[in-house]
Amino acid sequence: MSTIAAISTPPAVGGISMIRISGEKSIAVAEHLFYATNQVKVSEMRGYTCAYGYICDGNERIDDVILTVFRAPHSYTGEDTVEITCHGGLYLTNEILHLVLKNGAVPAGAGEFTKRAFLNGKLSLSQAEAVMNVIEADGKAALHQANLVKEGRLSRQMNAIADELIGILSALAYWLDDAEQFPEELDSSRLFTQIRDIYNKLSDMSKHYRDGKIYLQGIRTVLLGKPNAGKSSVMNWLCGVNRSIVTSIAGTTRDVITEQVKVGAYTLLVSDTAGIRETENEIETIGIEQAMKALSTADLVLYVIDASVGITKEDREVLKQCEDTKTVILWNKTDLNSTEPDVDFPHLLPCSMIADPPFDGLLKHLQQLFPEIVPNQPSVVNERQNQLLESAMKHVQSAMDLLESYGEPDLISVDLEIAARHLSEIDGKDVSKETIDGVFSRFCVGK
């Protein structure tokens, strides 16, 4: 493979920047442009050692830098790797990268360093995917969950289940080759119990998928309520800016407006929606339909009620549709009406968005609905992994159905083999080049 190079720090002015070079010519490329103050050559440096010196373009000194050498296979990519840490100017960093490319390296593609780590056996595919989750984590739970996967916990879990399936398949193959000897482990009732236990393990992992997405991506939150209840004021308070239009005219918001906000340790992906009411306005009707569509995929509903009006028949009808989704009622505009809320609901927060924004009160309800428990079990956290997990579950279920219906273990081998293959694909075994390229195309250049 070619020797690649890229800037691995963000494209912004800072104290330092870092250029990474990886490949069999990385040592030679660095030696062309780095001169150590102690006169040591890059080719003479041992792995995991640094040197202070200068990057030069011929006789012109560009910058004083720290150069670090990692020798194959003991590097992130599994290849010889050099990292140049320079001063953090944008022009300066790009000039050094230009020199690296001029001396024999080629520009790295998106995620190509991590892709090489995967291809060289340093990381499984699920571990590689977790690298970006570590980078993007914006809270303790998200970081902990990403690290569990990056450390190989998900890989080991999947491999253990796949090994159980392979053990059953091996016994089936032995029996089919020598039908006179029937292994004890293929007794129908015993085999059914074993396969059911495998299914239950996969089912538990599938149930954690949504929680895993919440840890890593945030709580998908939809603001619902009648027109002029104060949804846009809630949105603006959460965002800290006037993101939604706030007026006294009912029906102002007609589109779904989404922002990412922080409430304590929680990340909310908040969608402000059209006020829900009967209307003949075609555009407003589309907005209301979008609001109900947002509800179908939400993890949390913040339902806003105008306290000066009280709960209406329309509010109760919409709240009934929220029964399967975690919901907090914001009993808004209490500055206009001091009467007690006329609705019995476990998560209700009296508030006035204008007079007394209820940050602590909302945080308390979030803590009750989404306990800040750092997960100790890794979960699949992207759609590629989840689809493979669900397909494996489907085939394990099919194997159980066949065994229960016909009682003959030889009929189940095809389903179990497909299930084992899908679990292996989560970790990157026997996956297509297109799948690998698709995974790493979502990475940033330089990682």
Sequential DSSP letters for 128-185: HHHHHHHHH--SHHHHHHHHHHHTTHHHHHHHHHHHHHHHHHHHHHHHHHSTTS--GG
Same domain assignment for residues 225 and 97? no
Asked if residue 411 belongs to a domain, the reply is no
Residue 327 inside a domain? The answer is yes
Reduce the DSSP state of residue 402 to 3 states and report it: helix
Residues 361 and 238 in one domain: yes
| CA-based end-to-end distance of the chain | 17
pLDDT score at 62: 97
Task: Write the single-letter amino acid at 271.
Answer: S
Structure confidence by residue, pLDDT tens digits, 140-188: 777 888 888 899 988 998 999 999 999 888 877 776 666 566 566 667 7
The answer to whether position 392 is within a domain reads no
Per-residue pLDDT at 224: 87
Residues 114 and 225 in one domain: no
Range of the domain at 65: 4-119
How do residues 329-363 score in pLDDT, each as one tens digit? 998 888 886 667 877 888 999 888 777 666 788 88
CA distance 424 to 158: 7
User: Is the pLDDT score of 254 beyond 60?
Assistant: no
The C-alpha atoms of residue 21 and residue 228 are separated, in whole angstroms, by: 57
Structural contact between residues 6 and 443, judged by C-beta atoms closer than 8 angstroms: no
Q: What percentage of the chain reaches a pLDDT higher than 70?
A: 85
When pLDDT is cut at 50, 70 and 90, the band that residue 407 belongs to is low
The domain that holds 72 is classified in CATH as 3.30.1360.120
150-165: string of b/e by CB count within 10 Å (b at 16+)? bebbbbebbbebbebb
Q: Which of 413, 438, 359 is nearest to 172 (CA)?
A: 413
Give the tens place of pLDDT for each residue, 373-400. 556 777 787 888 999 999 999 999 999 9
Strand order in the sheet with 81-88: 34-36, 49-57, 60-70, 81-88, 14-22, 4-7, 106-107
CA distance 347 to 328: 5
Q: Which residue has the tokens 């293959």?
A: 421
At residue 268, the 3 state secondary structure works out as strand
Domain annotation covers residue 176: no
Q: Which of 119, 151, 179 is the last residue of a domain?
A: 119
Q: Are residues 240 and 354 in the same domain?
A: yes
Give the H/E segment covering residue 447. Answer: none
Question: Which of 332, 351, 369 lies at the terminal end of a domain, its last residue?
Answer: 369
354: domain CATH number? Answer: 3.40.50.300
- The reply to whether 40 falls in a domain is yes
On the question of pLDDT at 269 being above 80, the answer is: yes
Domain-terminating residue out of 369, 390, 412 = 369
Q: Are residues 363 and 243 in the same domain?
A: yes
DSSP conformational letter for 356: B
Domain assignment present for residue 329? The answer is yes
**Does residue 13 fall inside a structural domain?**
yes
- Examine residue 406 and state whether it is found in any structural domain, yes or no: no
What tokens does 230 get? Answer: 């104060």
For residues 218 and 320, give the distance between their C-alpha atoms in angstroms, rounded to a whole number: 25
Count the domains in the chain.
2
Q: Specify which residues 186 forms β-bridges with.
A: none
Task: Answer yes or no: do 338 and 230 share one domain.
Answer: yes
| 318-to-197, 325, 348 alpha-carbon distances in Å | 40, 12, 16
